[in-house]
Structure 1
Amino acid sequence: MKTMKLLTVLVMSLMIFSCSKNDDTVVEDQQQEAGVPSDLNYSQAQIDVAFYTTGSTSIPSVNWNGEQGTFSLDSTIDGLTINSQSGVLSWNKNLPLGENYVTVKALNSKGWGNTHIILNNRFQGHFIGGYNNDPNSTVITTGGAKLTFNADGTMTCEISGTVGIGSWISISGEYISVTFQLSGSGVAYKYDAQVIYSESISPYAAGSYGIAGTGVWQGHMRVDKI
C-alpha cells in the first residue's frame, strides 16, 4: 500500500510540473505574439567622448517582433539627440562634462523596450591665459599661464616661464580641482575652476588658486582652450 501511495504522489507531482511548464510556455508565446520590442542594444555600452567635439553612435540592433516603431530618449540631455527612425545618438559641443547616463526606448503600438548607454565626456585640452594676485578680482593682470589637461587626470603647466606637473579631478559637473607643482619651487598649488563652454562660447576655465592645504586663495586664474 505504501508503494502504491508513493507512486500516486509521484505521478501527480509530474503532472503538476508538466502543466506548470506548459503554462509558462504559453505565457512566453503570448508575450512574443504581443509584438513588444526587445533585445535593444548598441555596439558599445560606454563611449568615451573627447571634450568639446561632436560625434554619433552606430545604429543599434533591436527585435521589433513584427511591428517596426520608433526610438526616443527617456529624458533630455543637453547637446544630445536621437534619430527616431534609426536610433543613432548624436551629440554636439554642449554635451555635459562627466558621465552622461542615457536611456533609449524602442516603441511601437504594442509597448516598448529600453537599453542604457553611458557617454563619458572627459575634460581635456590645451589652455592658455593668465592670472592675478587678488582673489577678489577676476581681472587678469599677468599673462603666461599655459595648462594642458589630459583625459587620464594628469596635467602639465607653464606659469610665467616655469614648467610644472600635476593632476586634476572632476568635483561636480563643470567644476574641476587642479593640484600642481612648479619645477624647483617645492610648493604645491591648488586651482579650483569652473569650465565654461557652449557651441557659441569657446571653452575656458576660471577660478581661484593658492597654496594647497592652506585654504587661502592667492589670486584668480583664467585659461582659454586653444
Structure 2
Amino acid sequence: MKTLKLVLLLASIVFASCSDKDEEPAPVGPSLSYSETNFSSTYRSTGNSGLPALNWNGEVGNISLSGGQHGIYINDDNGTLHWNKYLAPGTYKVTAVATNSSGQATVEIEVENEFMGYFEGGLNANPASTTLTNDMTIDFKADGTAIVNVGFNGVGSWTRDESTVTAVVSFDGGTNFITFEGELSSNSSPAWLKGFYYNGQQAIEANKLGYFAVKID
C-alpha cells in the first residue's frame, strides 16, 4: 500500500512538472521605436517622422498621440507622425502611445517649427480702417532679419512672442524706424499676419500710423 502511494505521488509530481512546461508563455505588450525623435521644420511646410518599428507581439492594438497640437497627427495604422502647414511656430513635445491588451509602449517626440517666410499683402495710413490702400511684402528671414517692401525696402529685425510677431525696420539706413506688430493666424489657408505699424522702435499706441495685413500660403 505504501508502495502504491509512493508511485502515485511520483506520478503526480511528474505530471505537474510536464504541465508547467506545456503552459503558454505570458502575453507580451507592444514595442515601439523611431529612428529619430527630434525633428526640425519651417513654418507652412509639412513633414513626417518616417515609419517606426512597431510590433504588436501577436496582440491586437492601437496607436494614438498624447499631447497633440493642431497640425500634428499620427497615422493610427502604422504609427508615422505627421505635421502639416497649419502647425503654428514653436517647439512641441508629443507622445506616441501604442497599447494592446497586454501592455503599453510610449515614445516622446519633439517637433521644432521655425518661423520664417515671405508674406504678401498691403497697408493703409488709417489705423481705424482695415481697407488696404498700398501693396507691401514682409520677408522674415531665418536669421532674424526682416525686409519690408512698400515700393522701396526697409531692413531690420523681427521677434516673435507666441503668436505676436514684431518687425522693427528702417527705410533710411538706420536713422528712423518703423515698427510693424501683428497677430499670426496659422489655422487658416492662407495664414495671415494682421496688425498695426508705428513710428519708432516700439508699438506705442500714440505712435500708431496705420493698419497692415499680409499672408502666406
Please classify the TM superposition score into its range, dividing by the shorter chain length. 0.7 to 0.9
- For residues 94-113 of structure 1, what are the structure 2 equivalents within 5 Å? 94-113=86-105
Relative to structure 1, the CA distance from residue 178 to residue 41 in structure 2 (aligned partners, 3 Å threshold; closer, same or farther) is farther
1:188 pairs with 177, 192, 200, which one? 177
Q: 2:76 and 2:156 mapped to 1: Cα distance?
A: 44
* Deviation, structure 1 residue 121: 2.1
2:144 pairs with 149, 153, 177, which one? 153
* Deviation, structure 1 residue 74: 1.3
* Contact 2:52–2:80 (Cα < 8 Å) also in 1: yes
Mind listing any 5+ residue stretches in structure 2 that lack a counterpart?
Answer: 1-25
Alignment of 1:36 with 2:24, yes or no, is no
Count of equivalent residues: 190
Question: Superposition RMSD on alpha carbons, in Å?
Answer: 2.5
Letter of the 1:147 counterpart: I
1:208 pairs with 192, 196, 206, which one? 196
- For residues 31-180 of structure 1, what are the structure 2 equivalents within 5 Å? 35-38=28-31, 40-62=32-54, 64=56, 67=59, 69-143=61-135, 145-161=136-152, 163-172=153-162, 174-180=163-169
Give TM-score, length-normalised by structure 1. 0.72
* Deviation, structure 1 residue 58: 0.7
- For residues 212-223 of structure 1, what are the structure 2 equivalents within 5 Å? 212-213=201-202, 215=204, 216-223=207-214
Q: 1:135 and 1:171 mapped to 2: Cα distance?
A: 23
* Deviation, structure 1 residue 208: 1.0
Relative to structure 1, the CA distance from residue 170 to residue 48 in structure 2 (aligned partners, 3 Å threshold; closer, same or farther) is same
Letter of the 1:180 counterpart: V
Deviations 1:167-214 (A, max 9, x none): 222211x32122222233512222111123445x21221111112137
More displaced stretch, 63-72 vs 177-186: 63-72
* Deviation, structure 1 residue 68: 6.3
Letter of the 1:189 counterpart: I
More displaced stretch, 186-195 vs 67-76: 67-76
Relative to structure 1, the CA distance from residue 103 to residue 182 in structure 2 (aligned partners, 3 Å threshold; closer, same or farther) is same
Letter of the 1:37 counterpart: P
Give TM-score, length-normalised by structure 2. 0.75
Deviations 1:150-171 (A, max 9, x none): 233322222232x222222221
Identity within the alignment, %: 31
Larger radius of gyration: 2
* Contact 2:181–2:203 (Cα < 8 Å) also in 1: no
SS state at 1:165 partner:
strand
SS state at 1:187 partner:
coil
* Deviation, structure 1 residue 34: 5.9
Q: 1:78 and 1:94 mapped to 2: Cα distance?
A: 7
